[in-house]
Copies of this chain bind each other. A is one copy, B any other.
Amino acid sequence: MADLRIDGHTRVIAHLGHPTHSFKAPLIYNPWFAASGTRAVVVPLDCPAGALDALLPPLMAAPNVLGALITMPHKVGVVRLLDEVSRTARVAGACNAVKRLPDGRLVGDMFDGEGFVRGVQRKGLALAGASALVVGSGGVGSAIAASLAAAGVAQLRLFDLNDDATQALSARLREAHPALRVQVGDRDPAGLDLVVNATPLGMEPGDALPLDVNRLDARTFVGEVVMRERITAFLAAAQARGCRVQVGTDMLFEQIPAYLEFFGLPVATPERLRELARLDTPQENTP
């Protein structure tokens, strides 16, 4: 196990969010930086709601700060502090990565959806022309929908108990992807190529399932964003129906190569990142 050495040449990636206790990124990036001899470190900075506007600009102006990982509650709010955002971030309405360009401008991107998409593609699911249902139109659901659209799905069904969130997401998707068929307000998974739980359902024991699993076809690929358990109740039900699945931490590990590219740092495969990661519970490291 290579040791993380921090010295005066170390570049900093600030991990901004609140609360910090459940942050996983430092436990994934830093072992990779140590193993690869990359002079960089991910540092958690506790940034409560309302504190981002004062902190982000001076922090990002520090010459040895490469950028920031942005998480709850700032993924949406950070957008208006940036000079530029990627198309995916614009459609998602949120950013989870910020960097400073050589001219000082701040640019943001959103990799949650990218991680999800890379994961299912690497498991053999072809997305071009596919049909998908994303349950949950919050930050992560919007990001997944945006990345699925960018990956070429033909039909996207969106559902959230907060109908306003779904309508707003739908409008941004239609504007960026005029050829995409967007359908809102229905969470029937029957007959679709891909179904995703992007709600927090599954975080707490006894949570309801996000949709009617009895309507799942065996040929449908089922993805999950909840990381609390490797096989959530929803994934277990999908597997019982014969579906292939993607677990929550896959989205996490699959998006890190994209983040590393964004920051201009040496890139590792998701498998290598998992092997090195030092998450709190052993099961979290298991794909």
Contacts and interface: CB of A to CB of B under 8 A. Distances in A.
In the complex, the count of this chain's copies comes to 2
Interface residues of A, number: 41
Given A65-B45, A65-B46, A6 B20 contact: no
A262 interface: no
A6 B59 contact: no
A193 B20 CA distance: 52
A45 B12 contact: yes
A45 B1 CA distance: 26
A109 B250 CA distance: 47
A8 B30 contact: no
Contacts of A23: 7-8
Interface in A40-88: 41-48, 51, 54-55, 57-59, 61-65
Contacts of A10: 26, 43-44
A47 B61 CA distance: 9
A44 B6 contact: yes
Contact of A20 (B55, B57, B64): B64
A181 interface: no
A48 B63 CA distance: 8
Nearest to A20: B8
Contact of A8 (B22, B51, B63): B22
Interface of A: 1, 3-10, 12, 18-24, 26-27, 30, 41-48, 51, 54-55, 57-59, 61-65, 278, 280
